[in-house]
Structure formats: C-alpha cells, structure tokens
Structure 1
Amino acid sequence: MTTILVTGGTGTLGRHLTERLRADGHEVRVLSRHAQPYAVDLREGGSGLDDAVAGVDTVVHCATSPRGGDEKASRNLIAAARRAGVGHLVYISIVGVDRVPFGYYKSKLAVERLVEESGIGWTVLRTTQFHDLVLRVLQGMSRLPVMPLPARVKDQPIDVTEVAERLAELAQGAPAGRVDDMGGPEVRTFDSLARAYLRAAGRRRAVVRVPLRGAAYDAFRAGGHLAPERAVGTGTFDEFLTRRLGAAVTHR
C-alpha cells in the first residue's frame, strides 16, 4: 500500500482525488489549512509540513490560490518533500499557462518549473477549466441585471471527476514528466455556456459581449487556453448543469 499526500485535498479536485485513491487501497493524507491532523499553511511551512510528508511515497499537489502565494507554497512543499525522500511529485496545472500572459497562469507556469527542477521524480498534467469554475463565474455574473461576457472568447470545460481519475492513475504510476494535456469534450463560446446556465437555472438575463483589451485577453480570444486536439473528456457542460441544477439543458 502506497502512502500519498494530497495538498488541497479538501478542494473541488482534491476531494474527488482523495476518494478515488482511498478506494484503490492507498493510505491518503489530506493537507490543507484546516484539515486535521495535517492542517498546514503551505506558505508558512514549518514542522507541521515535515510531519505531513514524513513516510510519504507520492505527493499530489492540488493546492492553489488565485490570490497569490503559490510559488512560495510550492517551494516549501518541495523542500519538505526532498528532506523526506519523497519519490514522486505530481502537479496539476492549466492548459495555456505558457501561452496566456495572465497573472495566475504565470504563477502556475512558475510552479511547473519548480517541480521540474525539484530533483524529485515528477509528473505534470495540464487541463482546461473545470465545469465547477465556469459555473461559479456565471453565477457571479448573473447577479447583475445584465451578464457582461468577454467578446469572442471560447472555453472547453471538463468534468472534475474525470481529471481526478486521470490524476489518480498518474499518482499510482512512475514519474512521467509532462503528460498529454486533458481538455473537455466541447469548445463553446462563452455566451453559449452562459445561455445554457441561464436556462438550467431558470433565470432571465440579457447577455452582452464586451470587448476587452490587453495581451491576456488577446491570448484568450486566440484560444491559447484551449486544447481542441486533446478533447478527451466525455462529460459535457450541459450534463453537468443537469446534475447540479436538476434541470435538463438543451444545447443551442
């Protein structure tokens, strides 16, 4: 039986990954700021982090924050993993971090580099956006009388359970380096996703496409965050909405 540490194990992805690994018979430790007995703030490190990685065979690094601090947190984790003799470090990243000059993406790319240079056997998987994230964004936008959406931007959302399945496979295997990207089954315009959400939620909002400026927006508009050639996911956004909101969605 392998001992696997999952950072961010209480998050959207981490919960599914932890369940899958435990179902496969592994001892799984969940590290997050509030999960006992391994309640650790990775940005602070300390003895609690050393305790969490002691005797661990593989670390799956899912913890992240768009508010910053990922690089410091990852440096602390990698240092502790080296001290503990961890043999495999798996990192979940995002498609397009090397193509879209967006602040959060730059941080994810920097962490990829830290993982690659860690001296530990490593695996990096990049995926497109989770259905859950797209839903949260649309729910936030729908609080306004009019939903402002970035003009001419598409997305390729993927089901988080499928990502968890793939991560579990990678965590149970040998270090594989940068593996093939993983994208959702459909590339759709953002306003198409918004209209699907509004139908499923039974809400009425005007949808307005707003042109933006900047290098990041240009890269998103060019599809730098998409992986149409790696559309390996099977669960669609409409199916996700039906499960989550309990209403059938007609894609149009």
Structure 2
Amino acid sequence: MSSGKNTVLVTGGTGNLGALVVTRLRDAGHEVRVLSRHAADYPVDLRDGSGLDAAMAGAQVVVHCATTPRGGDDVAAGHLVEAARRAGTVTNILYISIVGVDVVPVGYYKIKLKVERILERSGLGVTILRTTQFHDLVAQVVGAVSKLPVAPLPNGVRVQPIAVEEVADRMAELAVPVPAGRVADMGGPEIHTLTELGRAYLTAIGRRRRVVPLPLAGKAYAGFRRGGNLTPAHAVGKVTFAEFLARRAAAADGR
C-alpha cells in the first residue's frame, strides 16, 4: 500500500467484504468515507446517484464493493463514473468482480461484466480484481439446502473458495491513487466439488443429511461444469474451506 494518506470512498462499506476493507484502510491511516443510503456523514443512493457529489469531493480513490443480485449494478456504476468525472480528483476506481463473468452466462455475472466494461470505457483510472467465490458464500448455499430432508447440490460443479479476509488484504493493497488495470485473478487454495464441500459442511455442523448430486440443464450450468468459475493458475489463497469451517466453529464456541 502507498505510504501516502489518501481519501478513499468505499461503496458497500458495511458489507461482508467492504467492512473488512474499510478497517484495513483506516488502520493504515487513510480517510475513509463509507457510502450507504443511511450513513450519517455521506448518505448516498447509488440507484439514482443522490449524494454522490458531496461524498466524492476531494477523493482520490473509489473502492466499489456495493452489489446486489437483484440487478441495477450497471446503473449504479454509471452514476459512480459520472460523479467521479465531475469531482475531477479521482484517479483510481477499484472494482471487485468474479472469476468467470465473461464465460459463465449467469444473469448476475453478465451484469458484473457489464460494470467492468463501463469502468474500462470511462476514461478514468481503473483497477479490476476478479476472485473466486468466498468461503462464506459456499457455506450459505450449502447451509440453505441442508435444512431440507436431503441436501441437493448441482452435480459436477467445482468451486475454488477463498477467504474474504485475504481478498480484503489484496483490495487494501490496490486502493492507491495509481490504477493497475485488470490485475491477476485470486483463487482459493483448493478446488472441490460442491457435493464434497456440502458433506464437509454438514459434518462440521453435526447435521445428518444425505447430499444428493442433482444434474441440471442450461448454458450456465454447462459453464460451471466446464470450470469457467475456476482459476487454478492463480490459487493464491491460503485458508482452505476446512480451515474456514474450523475457525467458524471455534468462534461459535467462544460466544
């Protein structure tokens, strides 16, 4: 991270990843503005751009973590770009994306790719980091189906989950005034099928369920089966899914 102290905007700064990035940047001495609709200091609505000009004034770096699977990320990115142009001080917009957005035709991935293109064509300095799925997301998916009498999971789909803390470390490194463009992807240390991780999750929480591999259809499923969501050449993560589960169990026991 740069030794200079910068003014950094973080969208989605109260979320799973964003909150960790905010902590790291503040610990490094940067002025960090956390944007949300209900923030006391910088109330911003990315859906219509309201409040962005005041929040953006004097900022050098924007860390864009805000996202929603309900749609509208592309509209929000457009408002962010317009406000950054008006501010005239922003030299780097750092965006967190997902490995496979250009090859796995899922609606949410298509929008994430569209946001990448909006940023790349904006004429502003941009840094884009794609990562594989977070451990938390895999646990959330498996946890949801584990409440059923049997646990159905897509057959033949492999994942390469990574610790959100490790991604936050990398994002904090990249949140500097000098943009880096599309940087190397980040993937977790191991690749497993979802059914394997499902069984590991169920064992960890002590829930007896039979994991049922479920064949699906469609282009998105085919994209996952081909491994479009994987980046084995960039398996830079250190924390395995098993270690994630053990840490989560230890934290739960300590409450």
* TM-score with structure 1 setting the length: 0.95
Which of the residues 17, 35, 38 maps onto 1:13? 17
Seq. identity, % = 64
Task: State how 1:156-167 maps to structure 2 within 5 Å.
Answer: 156-167=160-171
Work out the CA distance in 2 between the residues paired with 1:95 and 1:122. 17
Equivalent in the alignment of 2:98: 94
SS at match of 1:136: helix
Give the letter aligned to residue 225 of structure 2: R
SS at match of 2:66: coil
| Corresponding position: 1:189 with 2:202 | no
Equivalent in the alignment of 2:53: 50
Verify the 8 A CA contact 2:91 2:178 in the aligned structure 1. no
CA RMSD of aligned residues (A): 1.0
Work out the CA distance in 1 between the residues paired with 2:36 and 2:161. 25
| Corresponding position: 1:31 with 2:39 | no
Give the letter aligned to residue 89 of structure 1: I
Work out the CA distance in 1 between the residues paired with 2:204 and 2:250. 8
Work out the CA distance in 2 between the residues paired with 1:34 and 1:194. 36
| Corresponding position: 1:122 with 2:126 | yes
**Cα deviation digits, residues 90-115 of structure 1 (max 9, x gap):** 11000000010110000000000001
Equivalent in the alignment of 2:241: 237
1:38: Cα distance to partner?
Answer: 1.8
Question: Is the alpha carbon distance of 1:30 and 1:244 closer, same or farther for their aligned partners in structure 2, counting shifts above 3 Å?
Answer: same
Work out the CA distance in 2 between the residues paired with 1:44 and 1:201. 42
**Cα deviation digits, residues 137-186 of structure 1 (max 9, x gap):** 11111111111100000100000010011111111262111000000000
Equivalent residue pairs, number? 246
Unaligned runs of 5+ in 2: none
Work out the CA distance in 2 between the residues paired with 1:243 and 1:82. 43
Work out the CA distance in 2 between the residues paired with 1:105 and 1:125. 14
Work out the CA distance in 2 between the residues paired with 1:194 and 1:70. 30
Verify the 8 A CA contact 1:10 1:35 in the aligned structure 2. no
Work out the CA distance in 2 between the residues paired with 1:39 and 1:239. 38
Equivalent in the alignment of 1:216: 220
Work out the CA distance in 2 between the residues paired with 1:88 and 1:202. 46
Give the letter aligned to residue 222 of structure 1: R
1:199: Cα distance to partner?
Answer: 1.0
Task: State how 1:108-147 maps to structure 2 within 5 Å.
Answer: 108-147=112-151
Work out the CA distance in 2 between the residues paired with 1:238 and 1:32. 34
Work out the CA distance in 1 between the residues paired with 2:249 and 2:53. 41
Work out the CA distance in 1 between the residues paired with 2:150 and 2:250. 24
Work out the CA distance in 1 between the residues paired with 2:60 and 2:177. 11
Verify the 8 A CA contact 2:92 2:176 in the aligned structure 1. no
Which of the residues 68, 82, 88 maps onto 1:65? 68
Larger deviation, residues 35-44 vs 215-224? 35-44
SS at match of 1:124: strand
1:35: Cα distance to partner?
Answer: 2.7
Give the letter aligned to residue 67 of structure 2: T
1:244: Cα distance to partner?
Answer: 1.1
Equivalent in the alignment of 2:78: 75
1:34: Cα distance to partner?
Answer: 2.5
SS at match of 1:12: coil
Equivalent in the alignment of 1:170: 174
Work out the CA distance in 2 between the residues paired with 1:60 and 1:49. 14
* TM-score with structure 2 setting the length: 0.94
1:133: Cα distance to partner?
Answer: 0.8
Give the letter aligned to residue 63 of structure 2: V
SS at match of 1:186: coil
